[in-house]
């Protein structure tokens, strides 16, 4: 899934889609550089996840994103989706 994520995000960027919210269960090192580029070009403007590490964590920790990142426990993500707090479309 991690490598497919990068391929899908590359197509989304090519299509010019902007202001997406990422809501993966976690963000792995394999995804970091793509997510950083998507934040920089406005493709991704919000993130909610159970965690991030490596270069993405550093980028976010040093003010790389305008909007706050929401970190949820692994079980809290499906609860937020079911309750409608986290919208998926």
Q: All domains of the chain, ordered by start, with CATH? A: 2-83 (3.40.50)
Long-range pairs of 3-9 with CB within 8 A, sequence gap ≥ 24:
3/30, 5/30, 5/31, 5/34, 6/30, 6/31, 6/34, 9/34, 9/35, 9/38, 9/43
Three-state secondary-structure class, residue 71? strand
pLDDT tens for each residue of 44-78? 999 999 989 999 999 999 999 999 999 999 889 88
Spatial CA neighbour of 3 closest among 38, 43, 31, 45 = 31
- pLDDT band at residue 88 using 50, 70 and 90 as cut-offs: confident
């Amino acid at each position: 899934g991690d490598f497919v994520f990068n391929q899908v995000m590359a197509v989304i960027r090519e299509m010019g889609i902007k202001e997406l919210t990422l809501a993966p269960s976690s963000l792995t090192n394999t995804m970091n550089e793509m997510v950083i580029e998507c934040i920089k070009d406005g493709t991704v403007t919000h993130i909610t996840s159970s965690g991030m590490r490596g270069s993405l964590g550093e980028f976010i920790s040093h003010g790389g994103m305008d909007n706050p990142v929401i970190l949820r426990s692994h079980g809290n993500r499906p609860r937020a989706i079911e309750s409608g707090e986290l919208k998926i479309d």
